[in-house]
């Protein structure tokens, strides 16, 4: 339609599709609901898909301030994103941890050895 006003940027990676300017994320065609923080974090790490991004960099990108020692916000939000993403696309791994370095966004089918029974 007569939208025309924004550079319709679209990040399409694996089953994920992100519209940074539309606030929308779809997983397997299904739109998922993210909070503002979750969305911003996803956008930033997804824009750097394939590379390891440090917590400090992610924090600066999303929170707009330098990461303070002991702050675990990034970890908490990475976890929230993992839950929503993996919940919407079972069998896929999206965000990988690199101990001591940071996180890396790279949607990949997870290994088939995983027991389907999600007990806890």
Give residues in contact with a copy of itself (CB under 8 A). Answer: 1-2, 22-24, 31-33, 35-36, 39, 47-48, 50-52, 80, 84, 96, 98-102, 104, 106, 117-118, 120
d(Cα 61, Cα 57) in Å, to the nearest integer?
6
Contact 50, 107 (CB under 8 A): no
Site string for DNA, 65-104 (x = CB under 7 A): -----xxxx-xxxxx--xx-------------x-xxxx--
Contact 62, 37 (CB under 8 A): yes
Burial of 111 (0-12, 13-18, 19+ CB in 10 A): exposed
Work out what residue 2 binds among a copy of itself, DNA, none; the CB cut-off runs from 5 to 8 Å by kind: a copy of itself
Alpha-carbon torsion angle 24, 47, 80, 91, nearest 10: 90
Work out what residue 79 binds among a copy of itself, DNA, none; the CB cut-off runs from 5 to 8 Å by kind: DNA
In the complex, least distance from residue 76 CB atom to a copy of itself, rounded to whole angstroms: 12
Work out what residue 65 binds among a copy of itself, DNA, none; the CB cut-off runs from 5 to 8 Å by kind: none
Work out what residue 7 binds among DNA, a copy of itself, none; the CB cut-off runs from 5 to 8 Å by kind: none
The CA angle 84-28-95, to the nearest 5 degrees, is 45
């Amino acid at each position: 339609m007569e939208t025309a006003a924004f550079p319709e940027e679209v990040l399409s990676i694996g089953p994920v599709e992100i519209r940074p300017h539309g606030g929308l994320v779809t997983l397997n065609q299904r739109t998922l609901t993210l909070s503002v923080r979750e969305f911003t974090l996803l956008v930033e790490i997804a824009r750097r898909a394939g590379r390891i991004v440090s917590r400090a960099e992610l924090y600066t990108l999303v929170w707009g301030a330098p990461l303070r020692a002991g702050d675990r916000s990034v970890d908490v939000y990475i976890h929230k994103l993992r839950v929503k993403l993996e919940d919407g696309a079972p069998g896929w791994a999206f965000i990988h941890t690199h101990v001591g370095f940071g996180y890396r966004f790279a949607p990949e089918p997870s290994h088939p050895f995983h027991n389907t029974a999600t007990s806890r």
